[in-house]
Structure 1
C-alpha cells in the first residue's frame, strides 16, 4: 500500500508540473494583456498577475473593425464548416458502416488512396479558382468537407452500435433516414463531439489557405490577422489609426497588444471545451440491449 500511495504521489506531481508548463504561459499572456502599458516592461515570463490592471489593450483591439470583423469571419467559418463536416462525414460513415451495396470495397479502397496520396496544393488552387471561390469564405468552409481519417473513426463508432437495436427499428418500419437520425446519431454523441472538436479546432486555426485564397483584409479570419500582427510585426493596421480614437494620449505597448490578440484567438476554444467534454461519457449504450 505504501508503494502504491508513493507511486500515486509521484504521478500527481508529474501531472501537476505538466499542467503548469501549459497553464503558466497562458496566464502570463493574459496578465500581460491586462497590464497597464506603462508597466508592461516590468512583466517577466513567469508573472501571472497583471501589474496595474488595465483593459485599454482590449478596448483598442475590440474597437478595431479589422479585429471584430476577423472574429466574426472565424466564427462563421468554424460553425458552418464544422456543421458541414459532421453532416457529410456522418452520412458517409453510416452508408459505409451499416449498409451494403455493390462496389463498397472499391469505394473504401478509393478513400484509402485519397487519404494516403492527398492532391497537391496547385490542383486544389486551380479547382478553387475554376469554381469562382477566390476571395470567398466558402473556399475555407468547403475545404476538406470530409476528412477520410475522421470518416474511418466515425465508422468504428457506428459499427459498435448493436445490430439488435437497428433490427428492432427496421421491424417497427424505420427506414435508413429514420435509423440514421433517431438511432445512429443519438447513440454516437461521443464520437460526433470528438470529431466536432477536431473539425472546429481545424477551422478556427486555419490561416495558410486563408492567406492564399482570401486577399481582401475585411474577409480575413482572426488567425490571419494574428499572423500579420504577431509574426510579421505589422502593427500599422491595429495601432496606427485606432490610436486616434483615444486622442493619441495613450501609449500602447506592442507586446501587450500581441498578448491580447493571442488571448482573443484562444479564448473561444477554451470556452468550447467544457461543453464538448460532457459528451465523453461511458456507458452510452448500457441498457440498450437486453440479453
Structure 2
C-alpha cells in the first residue's frame, strides 16, 4: 500500500511539474509561431498555438534589417560578453584575496561589502558617479556597472575555500606566488563556479534595461532591451517601421505588429537561451557544490 501511495504521489508531482513547464513553454513557442507565421495568417493563431500558420521570415527581415536594431544587438552582445568576462575575472580574483587567511582587515571589508549588498545606492548617486567618470552615453558605463556582484562574490569565495590548503601550500613551497597560484591552480579548479557565476552575470548584463535607458541616451549607444521595451511595452512602432529599406511601405503596413513584437522578442531572447544548453549540465552541480559541507 505504501508503495502504491508513493507511485501516486510521484505521478501527481510529475503532472504538476509538467503543467508548470507547459505554462512557461507554450507562451515561448507561441511567440516563435507568431514570428514565423505568414503575415496574412497571423490572425488565425490563438494564444495556445505552437505551430506557425504558413511560414515566413518577413518579420525577421524587418527587425534585423533595421540598422538601429542591428546596432542595438551588437551593443548588447558587447556589453554582455565584455562585461561578463571582466566580472568573472574581478569577482574571482577578489574572492581569492578575501579567502586568504592572513589578509589584514578581512572582517571589516566583508562587513562593508555585505552592507553594500543590502543597502544599494540610489539611482541619483549612481548617475552622478557615471557622470563624473565621463561615461554617460558610453557602453563602458554598462560594462563596468556592478562589475562585481557581492552575492556572486560570496558564492565564489565559498568555492575557493573548498580548495585544499595543502595544495596551495605545496605550490608556495615550490616558489609559486599568488598570481601563479591563482592562474594555475585556483582557476583550473574553479571551472564549475566560473560557469555558474558566468551565467548569472551574462543573464544580468543581457537583461539590464533600466540603467541602460538612464546611462545611454543616443540611438547609436542604446541596447536591444531598451528598444524592446520601447516597442513591445510602450508601443513605439515607429522604431521598427523605420526599417522599410527592405520592404515597400504598403507591405510594412500589411504586417501584423503583434507578429513583429514576437519577432523582436525572439531576437532578444535567442542569444541568451543559447547559453543555457552549454552550461545547464554544470549549473546544478555548481550551485550544490557551493552549499555547506560537513
Gap change, CA 1:281 and 1:149, over 3 Å in 2: closer
Question: Would you say the 8 A contact 1:189–1:279 is kept in 2?
Answer: no
1:143 and 2:171 are equivalent in the alignment: no
TM-score for the superposition, normalised by structure 1: 0.92
Gap change, CA 1:36 and 1:130, over 3 Å in 2: same
1:219 and 2:246 are equivalent in the alignment: no
1:270 and 2:273 are equivalent in the alignment: yes
1:17 and 2:22 are equivalent in the alignment: no
**Cα-to-partner distance string for 1:217-256 (whole Å, 9 max, x where unaligned):** 12110000101110111111211x3235322342211000
Question: Would you say the 8 A contact 2:137–2:218 is kept in 1?
Answer: yes
Matches within 5 A, 1:172-187: 172-187=174-189
The answer for unaligned runs of 5 or more in structure 1 is 284-291
Query: Between Structure 1 and Structure 2, how many residues are aligned?
Result: 282
- What secondary structure, in the 3-state scheme, does the structure 2 residue paired with 1:94 have? helix
- 2:256 paired residue number: 253
Matches within 5 A, 1:1-291: 1-239=3-241, 241-250=242-251, 251-280=254-283
Indicate the larger mover: 62-71 or 244-253.
244-253
Question: Would you say the 8 A contact 2:92–2:156 is kept in 1?
Answer: yes
Question: Would you say the 8 A contact 2:136–2:216 is kept in 1?
Answer: yes
Indicate the larger mover: 73-82 or 266-275.
266-275
Shift of 1:12: 1.9
- What secondary structure, in the 3-state scheme, does the structure 2 residue paired with 1:111 have? helix
- What secondary structure, in the 3-state scheme, does the structure 1 residue paired with 2:249 have? coil
- What secondary structure, in the 3-state scheme, does the structure 2 residue paired with 1:69 have? helix
Shift of 1:193: 1.0
- 1:289 paired residue number: none
Question: Would you say the 8 A contact 2:72–2:220 is kept in 1?
Answer: yes
Runs of at least 4 residues of structure 1 off by over 4 A?
none
The two structures, once aligned, show a CA RMSD in angstroms of 1.6
The answer for unaligned runs of 5 or more in structure 2 is 287-294
Shift of 1:282: 5.0
Structure 2: distance between partners of 1:144 and 1:242: 34
Question: Would you say the 8 A contact 2:207–2:225 is kept in 1?
Answer: yes
**Cα-to-partner distance string for 1:44-98 (whole Å, 9 max, x where unaligned):** 1000011111111001111110111111000000011111111111111001113
- What secondary structure, in the 3-state scheme, does the structure 2 residue paired with 1:277 have? helix
Shift of 1:178: 1.4
Question: Would you say the 8 A contact 1:98–1:158 is kept in 2?
Answer: no
**Cα-to-partner distance string for 1:137-160 (whole Å, 9 max, x where unaligned):** 111111111111111111111111
Structure 2: distance between partners of 1:61 and 1:281: 35
TM-score for the superposition, normalised by structure 2: 0.91
